[in-house]
Amino acid sequence: MNFKRKILQILVVLMIFAATTITAFGAPSAYISGAKIKGFNANYIIIDMNDKNVRPMMLTAGNVLCSADSVSNMAKNNGCFAAINGTYFSAYDGIPISWGTIIKNGKVLHISNGGAVAGFTSDGELVIDRLSFNFKGYINDEYRCIPWRINHPSDEADAITIFTPEYGAVVKLKGGAKAPVVENGKVSYIATSDFYVPAGDLPSSIILRWQI
């Protein structure tokens, strides 16, 4: 893929998010410009992704999902020269949680119900595509359930949700609900009240089921 094509793709993704805030700081591999598109003023940044000193990052506030911060602060705190909102975000409605698909360092942290997803590969290539996810839950190697969501609270009585340490907030259980806590591939205990997802060197997860 040549540089001209990469510029075009970056312009496309920034125009898709034209309603969001773009924060940029001085860098030799990028410059900011503006244009009027269908009567609307739009700012955009062109980045040389062939520059080996440029590395895309996926950031969350405080490195957790259930938190909020400004795009500007997140960029400055992580040494970034440009940043843009990456998904819809309910920042000020009680639980500050994203609504779109989030994949960080190859780990799926949140999924959406549809729509296009924009992201960068490990070598800096921009990819825009539609993603679908298929999860299956097994107990003692026997297929038992289909998880509905990842790191997103559910109100439905029969919902099954996976919570990981990246959720970053207390998981609230409704009356009568139970949550198997999985650490290092094994159930360590069954939670019956509000709890935090335990951290660990190996991935740990929670499968939350309102009714068991």
pLDDT digits (tens, 9 = 90+) for 173-189: 887 788 888 887 788 88
Mean per-residue pLDDT, 18-41: 65
- What DSSP line would sit under the chain, residue for residue? --HHHHHHHHHHHHHHTTTS-EEE---TTEEEEEEEETTEEEEEEEE-TT-TT-------GGGSSS----HHHHHHHTT-SEEE--S-EE-SSSS-EE-S-EEETTEEEE--SSSEEEEE-TTS-EEEEE------EEETTEEEE---EES----STT-EEEE-GGG-SPBPPPTT-BEEEEETTEEEEEE-S-BPPPP-SS--EEEEES--
| Least confident window among 56-60, 96-100, 107-111, 191-195 | 96-100
Assess whether pLDDT exceeds 50 at residue 21: no
**Domain boundaries defined on the chain:** 3-130, 137-209
Assess whether pLDDT exceeds 60 at residue 15: no
pLDDT at 19: 34
Give the residue, 116 or 26, on which the prediction is more confident: 116
pTM, two decimal places? 0.73
Mean per-residue pLDDT, 155-175: 86
